[in-house]
Structure 1
């Protein structure tokens, strides 16, 4: 500071502070779901996964209708054709030009050899059925089974866990022994026995998946109910004469929504994988129906000669499982930050 500069008295005057604004909230208040959505939006992986899942659900619904070929229509003259897309067939470095490489290194074009002018975007299987229609039809069925199984697991698990945790005592002991008996038997054995008793199909697979799938949800809900049932708001409801059902459904379950959603989101990819596993070992859907598991099983049998038949459904199921797990991780961090690793 220069010596000639002078300091005015006004610079030493205290600042004027408005006491009425000391407790003013500058940001709008957010409820639980708005705050959770802000946390989810910060998780880029969860948002991208959400977009991917939305796209796959839409394409699974409209995909079979985009192709002029039915998913169950056979044409043995067009069997085992590689993928060919009209707009991409002249780009040699893309695998959509209708050619395939033989074991000796030669490249052949089955479309030209058989005089076929049609275009099969994902190729055909060993019976000449359009793989594009079958992949999206299989995705549709796999997602349907997974969502249905997860919904049933949620209903049974939440009801079982809430009743067990809230009433406690003898009821809790009996219900927990039931869970221990179910978990004591290998899951795969129960599922295989159920599918052998019932005819293979969507309903039998869903029933098989829900026999033991609800146990994890029941245990989580029971633990949360045990923690909440002795808190002040529950005791106040009891004092005011609220019934047990009202306390469970109006006071306890709304506080468990975050945990229920998180566990349900983790259940969906597990159900998709388990359904694919059952289909892969021959206990899944029967022709002409297809799921991602049956498509992978059929493609595995001719993987060396026609790798696209297994590669495409395998990529689809991998993307679905990774996306659902990323969404579940994002929801876990947003809805229940205490569960964060």
Structure 2
């Protein structure tokens, strides 16, 4: 087959508009807008953010949805399984109020105790509503973790920025202090706090804060030592800008991504540590509730009433997974090396 001959008539010159030669087709984005677009591409981070927002809303609103207080006791209604209106008629869902005896017999605990109320997540051994206690415990755990993370961030950023920017003998002294603190186990600090203070939110927060900021301080120090040699910092020094303003106006904005990422990873660690302390009996004391205390109470009756442990364990697992997924998404979005 003969090839078709290409002639000049087949080509049409492009119509070039000189007024649009330098027109920008896409809107310009700042650093945070570009980072948000990258986070939106991460489906895991977005789903985790939505789930975390819902859990936070329930932690704030959940304890007030029904008429049961988190410390209201009714021994006649103890160890009742979950029972939810409408869903109790669905046979394959575990919300019908049935329990199983050791010999395998199934019976309805509500009918046996002549209880007409509905406990959506059941009750514990003292007849306290687990729905209210789970969301109250989530509220307390999130409060302790976020408070400890914010304090760690503030202390760590200030400490690390001063150490890295000033350098010399000041840096050596400050780093020796951090090395001493790193060598002290957190559990020893917690025990000392409990000896000095009563077990509770204050002692746990102080214990988490005493050594928790060291990691943030080290990361900030390393970044500051790298950034303080940049041209814009040298220019600011040449123009006579004070050291405090250089740190505040030039260094901290460039450290914002690192600070946010480390803070997001600190929160789930603090939640787990608080739950661990409550599980071994060094955390909150009754009648206060946290996810750790609820898991500890449920673990004692796991074989008879597994829902008392499974429900708070699922909530704390969701919180930790969501925070870690969001932190991973922020790390990929805020790290310049991850640009696609």
Query: Which interval holds the TM-score relative to the shorter structure?
Result: over 0.9
1:191 corresponds to: 190
Counterpart-to-counterpart distance in 1, 2:155 and 2:197: 21
Displacement of 1:11 in angstroms is 2.9
Describe the shift of the 1:339–1:142 C-alpha distance in structure 2 as closer, same or farther (beyond 3 A). Answer: farther
Counterpart-to-counterpart distance in 1, 2:226 and 2:239: 21
Displacement of 1:8 in angstroms is 6.1
Counterpart-to-counterpart distance in 1, 2:5 and 2:243: 77
Counterpart-to-counterpart distance in 2, 1:296 and 1:324: 20
Q: Is the 8 A contact 2:124 2:130 kept in 1?
A: yes
1:157 corresponds to: 156
Alignment: residue pair count: 339
1:140 corresponds to: 139
Question: Is the partner of 2:61 in helix, strand or coil?
Answer: helix
Q: Is the 8 A contact 1:195 1:208 kept in 2?
A: no
Displacement of 1:192 in angstroms is 2.3
2:288 corresponds to: 289
Displacement of 1:92 in angstroms is 1.7
Describe the shift of the 1:7–1:267 C-alpha distance in structure 2 as closer, same or farther (beyond 3 A). Answer: closer
2:60 corresponds to: 61
Give CA-to-partner distance per residue, 1:154-203, whole Å, 9 cap, x none. Answer: 00000000000000000000000000001112222222222232111111
Displacement of 1:19 in angstroms is 5.8
Give CA-to-partner distance per residue, 1:223-280, whole Å, 9 cap, x none. Answer: 0000000111111111111111000111100110000000000000000000000000
Kindly report which structure 2 residues correspond to 1:1-341, keeping only aligned pairs within 5 A, or say none.
9-12=8-11, 14-18=13-17, 21-338=20-337
Counterpart-to-counterpart distance in 2, 1:159 and 1:179: 13
Counterpart-to-counterpart distance in 1, 2:168 and 2:213: 22
Comparing 81-90 with 157-166, greater Cα deviation is found at 81-90
Stretches of structure 1 that go unaligned for 5 or more consecutive residues are none
Stretches of structure 2 that go unaligned for 5 or more consecutive residues are none
Describe the shift of the 1:38–1:12 C-alpha distance in structure 2 as closer, same or farther (beyond 3 A). Answer: closer
RMSD value, Cα? 1.8
Q: Is the 8 A contact 1:209 1:271 kept in 2?
A: yes
Displacement of 1:214 in angstroms is 0.4
How does the TM-score come out when normalised to structure 2? 0.96
Q: Is the 8 A contact 2:190 2:203 kept in 1?
A: no
Counterpart-to-counterpart distance in 1, 2:16 and 2:236: 45
Displacement of 1:15 in angstroms is 3.9
Question: Is the partner of 1:89 in helix, strand or coil?
Answer: helix
Counterpart-to-counterpart distance in 1, 2:207 and 2:73: 31
Counterpart-to-counterpart distance in 1, 2:50 and 2:8: 62
Counterpart-to-counterpart distance in 2, 1:220 and 1:195: 30
Question: Is the partner of 1:100 in helix, strand or coil?
Answer: strand
Describe the shift of the 1:89–1:16 C-alpha distance in structure 2 as closer, same or farther (beyond 3 A). Answer: closer
